[in-house]
Amino acid sequence: MAKPKAGELKSIVQFERYTTVDDGFGKVENWSSHGDPVRARKTEVSDGERWRASEVGAVITARFLLRWSVFTAGITAKDRLICEGRKYEITGGPREVHGRRRYVELSCAARSDK
């Protein structure tokens, strides 16, 4: 992925972190906002089809390039991000690119039918 030029970090992404909450009856999953929204460059990689349990669903794969910070370096695959209203699961990263502590790249996947 090429180094971004000025103004290329156009997308705004919000991270969410998974936690479990006890609602009195049992533990339920809860996704809550994690940190402030950050700017990123989104690059769609490919569309793939998955056949599971006789179901066909298109998967959108994208890479997000963000400026390095302590916050973005701490993102894990247990988190997810929201960009343009679509929820992406983090499948790879964060990995530093274009020099030490310059940018972070995340590989993500989202279902197109959700």
pLDDT at 28: 86
Residue 66 falls within a domain, yes or no?
yes
Residue 73 falls within a domain, yes or no?
yes
Domain boundaries, position 28? 11-111
Across the chain, which has 114 residues, the per-10-residue mean pLDDT values are 78 93 85 93 73 63 93 92 94 85 92 72
Contact 78, 96 (CB under 8 A): no
pLDDT at 103: 93
Residue 3 falls within a domain, yes or no?
no
Contact 31, 64 (CB under 8 A): no
Say how many domains are in the chain.
1
Residue 94 falls within a domain, yes or no?
yes
pTM over 0.85: no
Report how far Cα 12 is from the mean position of its chain's Cα atoms: 11
Contact 108, 46 (CB under 8 A): no
